[in-house]
Every structure is written in structure tokens, then in C-alpha cells.
Amino acid sequence: MADNNTTARPYARAIFRVAQAENALARVSASLAVAGDIMNDGTVAKFLANPALDNEARLKFLTGLFRDAEGEDSIFGGSNEHGTNALKLLLEYGRVDVFPQIAEHFEAMRARVENTVDVTITSATALRPEQQDAMVTALRKRLGRDVNLKTVIDENLIAGAVIRAGDVVIDGSVRAKLEGLSNALTS
């Protein structure tokens, strides 16, 4: 049996092609993020697994849920033919549980097309705006892509920062340096 990433990939590609043709990458991205968050909720998945429900009832429930969560602009809220057809297909094949993975694959394809990368900087204290600007400039130069920056505070780092950009991890935290020193001393 295929894992969820393998199952989600062709759905994500199809949704991406339609979104790109309609120049709606940002809108579809937002809808997929909401759908992924909703499907990560075990309560929703458990409700959808109820054998007393047919796919029409599941579709009605999901379109209402997506519309409530995202408003009228939701592509899965029933007003978008492509979104409704995607939901019907996922329900027919019992694949609505892969929405989180579809969203991940979609975002990766969108990032490649838009030449962007999501970067998370985890630091012990909040970064000043000028520090963030300097980091974005340096990362843009190093990665050759536009940078979408997110900052996270983790007081356990002591000092320094950990930068995650896709598969690239730069660990400049004091905690990592202390762990490295500890490992060197104990080996």
C-alpha cells in the first residue's frame, strides 16, 4: 500500500495545473492549507469514516466546513467547480485524508515556479527588524531565491539561531556548539 505522500502527489499535480492555468496559485494554496489543517483534526476524519454517511453527505459536510473555515473564497466551499470535482474524486477513492500531503506538494511546486523558499529562523530572543532584513538579504544571495521569512523564539537555544530553508539547516546556536563540545570531550 502506498504512503500518503505517494498517494497525494498526483492529486497535487492535477490541482496545481488547474490553479496555474487559472492564475489562482495563491488562492488555491490558501484553500489547501485550510483543508490540510481541517483534515489533520482526528475528529473530522473520524466523522467522515462513519459508514452511515454516503459520499454525497460527506461532500455536503466538507463543503460547508471549508466554506465556514475560509469564507466564500474557498475553492472547496462548493462555489468552485474544480474544487468540488476534486473533493468528489477524493471522496470517491477514499483519499480526503491526504489533504495535508496534497497541500505540502502543492506548496513545493508553487515555490519552484515562483522561485521562493520558506525560511524559519529559530532564535533565543526576538530578532530586530534590521537583523531580519540582513538575514533575508544574505539568504537570498546564498540560496538564489526570494525568501519568505518566519521567526520562532526558543529560549532553550541559550543564544544564536537555527536557520531552516527547505533541506538546508544552519545551526549557529550556542546549544549546538555546547553539545558538540560535550560530544568531543566524552569520546
Where residue 2 falls among pLDDT bands split at 50, 70, 90? Answer: low
Considering its fold, how many domains does the chain have in total? 2
User: Above 70 in pLDDT, residue 156?
Assistant: yes
What are the strands of the beta sheet with 168-171, ordered from one edge?
146-153, 116-123, 161-165, 168-171
Of 64, 95, 111, the last residue of a domain is 111
CB atoms within 10 A of CB 23: 8
Rounded distance, CA 138 to CA 128, Å? 16
> What mean pLDDT is predicted for residues 84-92?
88
- Quote the cell numbers at residue 114: 515562483
* Domain shared by 19 and 91, yes or no: yes
Q: What is the residue range of 48's domain?
A: 4-111
- Quote the cell numbers at residue 95: 483519499
- 5-63 pLDDT per residue, tens: 788 899 999 999 988 888 888 888 888 888 888 888 888 888 888 889 898 999 888 88
Of 88, 111, 134, the last residue of a domain is 111
